[in-house]
Amino acid sequence: MVPSDSKIQFDHQGRLRHFLTINGLPKETLVQILDTAESFISFGQREIRKVPLLRGKTVVNLFFEPSTRTRTTFEIAAKRLSADVINLSAARMSTSKGESILDTARTLEAMHTDLFVVRDSASGASHLIASHLPEHVRVINAGDGRHAHPTQAMLDMFTIRREKGGFEGLKVAIIGDVLHSRVARSQIHALSTLGVDEIRLIGPRTLIPTEVEAMGVNVTSNMAEGLSGIDVVMMLRLQRERMDGQLVPSEQEYFNRYGLTDDKLSYANPDAIVMHPGPINRGLEIASSVADGDRSVILSQVTNGIAVRMSIMAKLMGGQEDP
Amino acid sequence: MNQIPLEPILATMVEDIRALNIDQPLVIGIHTGGAWIATELHKNLETNSLLGTLDISFYRDDFSRVGLNPKVQSSDLPEPVEGRHILLVDDVLHTGRTIRAAMNEIFSFGRPASIKLAVALERPGRELPIAADVIGKTMELEPMQQAKICQTDSGLHFEIVTQTSSSD
pLDDT value of position A245: 66
Query: Distance between CA atoms of A123 and A311, rounded to whole angstroms?
Result: 24
Closest residue, chain B, to A37 (C-alpha) = B72
- Facing A53 at nearest CB: one of B58, B73, B75: B58
Interface test with B, best of A31, A34, A48, A81 (most B CBs within 10 A): A48
Give the rounded percent of residues in chain A with a pLDDT score beyond 70: 93
Q: Which residues pair with B27 in a beta bridge?
A: B87
Contact A42 B75 (CB under 8 A): yes
Tally of residues, chain B: 168
Residue B10 contacts residue B136 (beta carbons within 8 Å): yes
pLDDT value of position B71: 82
pLDDT in tens, B101-146: 999 999 999 999 999 999 999 999 999 999 999 999 999 999 999 9
Those of residues 2-31 in B touching chain A at CB distance below 8 A are none
Residue B36 contacts residue B6 (beta carbons within 8 Å): no
Residues of B in contact with A48 (CB under 8 A): 107-109
Contact A314 B68 (CB under 8 A): yes
Contact B64 A319 (CB under 8 A): yes
Residues of A in contact with B31 (CB under 8 A): none
Residue ranges and CATH numbers for the domains of chain A are 7-148+305-317 (3.40.50.1370), 150-302 (3.40.50.1370)
Those of residues 42-61 in B touching chain A at CB distance below 8 A are 55, 57-59
Rounded to a whole number, what is the distance in Å from the CA of A72 to chain B's nearest CA? 22
pLDDT in tens, A91-137: 545 666 667 888 989 999 999 999 999 999 889 999 999 999 998 99
Contact B66 A46 (CB under 8 A): no
Interface test with B, best of A27, A47, A49 (most B CBs within 10 A): A47
Residue A78 contacts residue A87 (beta carbons within 8 Å): no
Q: In this structure, is residue B75 part of a structural domain? A: yes
Query: Distance between CA atoms of A237 and A220, rounded to whole angstroms?
Result: 18
Provide the mean pLDDT of chain A.
91
Establish if A29 touches chain B: CB-CB under 8 angstroms.
no
Residues of A in contact with B109 (CB under 8 A): 46-48
> For position B75, which CATH number holds?
3.40.50.2020
Q: Which domain holds residue B138?
A: 2-162
pLDDT in tens, B35-50: 999 999 999 988 888 9
The candidate with the shortest Cα–Cα distance to A184, out of A231, A146, A140, A136, is A146
Residue B110 contacts residue B85 (beta carbons within 8 Å): no
Residue B85 contacts residue B27 (beta carbons within 8 Å): no
The candidate with the shortest Cα–Cα distance to A173, out of A158, A188, A155, is A188
pLDDT value of position A191: 98
The candidate with the shortest Cα–Cα distance to A170, out of A186, A151, A157, is A157
pLDDT value of position A21: 96
Q: For residue A321, give the DSSP letter.
A: S
Closest residue, chain A, to B61 (C-alpha) = A53
Residue A232 contacts residue A160 (beta carbons within 8 Å): yes
Number of Cβ within 10 Å of residue A98's Cβ equals: 7
Q: Which residues pair with A60 in a beta bridge?
A: A86, A116
Give the rounded percent of residues in chain B with a pLDDT score beyond 70: 97
Q: Which amino acid is at B145?
A: Q
Q: In this structure, is residue B167 part of a structural domain? A: no
Q: In this structure, is residue B147 part of a structural domain? A: yes
Rounded to a whole number, what is the distance in Å from the CA of B96 to chain A's nearest CA? 18
Q: In this structure, is residue B119 part of a structural domain? A: yes
Where does the pLDDT of residue B1 fall: very low under 50, low under 70, confident under 90, or very high at 90 and above?
low
Rounded to a whole number, what is the distance in Å from the CA of B72 to chain A's nearest CA? 6
Extract the runs of DSSP E, i.e. beta strands, from A29-168.
Answer: 58-63, 84-89, 115-120, 138-144
pLDDT in tens, A45-75: 777 888 999 999 999 999 998 888 999 999 9
Where does the pLDDT of residue B65 fall: very low under 50, low under 70, confident under 90, or very high at 90 and above?
confident
Distance set, CA A150 to CA A30, A48, A147, A308, B84 (Å): 11, 29, 10, 11, 43
Closest residue, chain B, to A16 (C-alpha) = B67
pLDDT value of position A98: 63
When mean pLDDT is compared across A241-245, A262-266, A270-274, B75-79, the lowest value belongs to: A241-245
Query: Distance between CA atoms of B116 and B88, rounded to whole angstroms?
Result: 6
Q: Is the pLDDT of residue B94 over 70?
A: yes
pLDDT value of position A4: 47
Residues of B in contact with A44 (CB under 8 A): none
Residues of B in contact with A319 (CB under 8 A): 63-68
SS3 of A173, please? strand
Cα angle, residue B164 at apex, residues B159 and A311 outer, rounded to 5°: 90
Q: Is the pLDDT of residue B168 over 60?
A: no
Question: Which tops the pLDDT comparison, B127 or A12?
Answer: B127
Residues of B in contact with A314 (CB under 8 A): 58, 63, 68
Q: What is the count of structural domains for chain B?
A: 1
Those of residues 72-91 in B touching chain A at CB distance below 8 A are 72-75, 82
Closest residue, chain B, to A39 (C-alpha) = B74
- Facing B108 at nearest CB: one of A47, A321, A323: A47
pLDDT value of position B68: 86
Rounded to a whole number, what is the distance in Å from the CA of B107 to chain A's nearest CA? 8
- Facing A318 at nearest CB: one of B63, B74, B104: B63
pLDDT mean over A171-181: 96
pLDDT mean over A257-271: 97
pLDDT value of position A6: 75
pLDDT value of position A311: 97
pLDDT value of position A2: 47
- Facing A46 at nearest CB: one of B63, B104, B109: B109
Closest residue, chain B, to A57 (C-alpha) = B64
Distance set, CA B56 to CA A30, A91, A218, B28, B81 (Å): 22, 42, 45, 12, 16
